[in-house]
Amino acid sequence: MFEIFLSSITGIFFFLSVHIILWRIFPSNNPRMLLLFFLAFAGTILSIIVHLFFFNTDIISVTSTIWLDVFFIICYLFLYAGLSRSVSLTLLEKISVANSIDFDSLVKDYESSIRFLDRMELMKKNEYINISNNMVTIRPKGRKLIKLTRIFGRLIGVSLEG
């Protein structure tokens, strides 16, 4: 089991390292999903090579390495896509920069989004924002989430665009 995990981590480390380096050298607002797919594929191939070279050639352990890679890659892609295209995180970022913002101006900016009011209500329910007297303010829980999001976004070179 340890050899499966170690092989998989090698490929995932390669995938994440090359992804971060490329996105830092060539920043873009385009998520470049095809390039991410090729990097993920290369990372999986590296995991297989490491497993076959250093450990055993048992088909079950090689297959397990592949599936563990796929699991990590899918988790990362969901995180990456959610971070770069999240309407809720973009709203929190906009509110945190201004500290408080007029609700009507937010409605005007997001009038084309059919889920805007749902997102605002959910963020209020989860105590990320406060809405009172037609003003939206960010709460400490929302500020913590935005700080974490900014750190991760800077690391992988993604800006919020939801």
Q: 159 falls in which pLDDT band (50, 70, 90)?
A: low
pLDDT in tens, 99-129: 778 888 777 777 666 777 788 888 889 998 8
Q: Which amino acid is at 70?
A: V
Domains, the chain, with CATH or none: 2-84 (no CATH), 87-156 (1.10.10)
pLDDT of residue 38: 92
pLDDT band at 162 (very low <50, low <70, confident <90, very high): low
What is the crossing angle of helices 87-98 and 140-156, to 10°? 110
Burial of 35 from C-beta contacts in 10 A (0-12 / 13-18 / 19+): middle
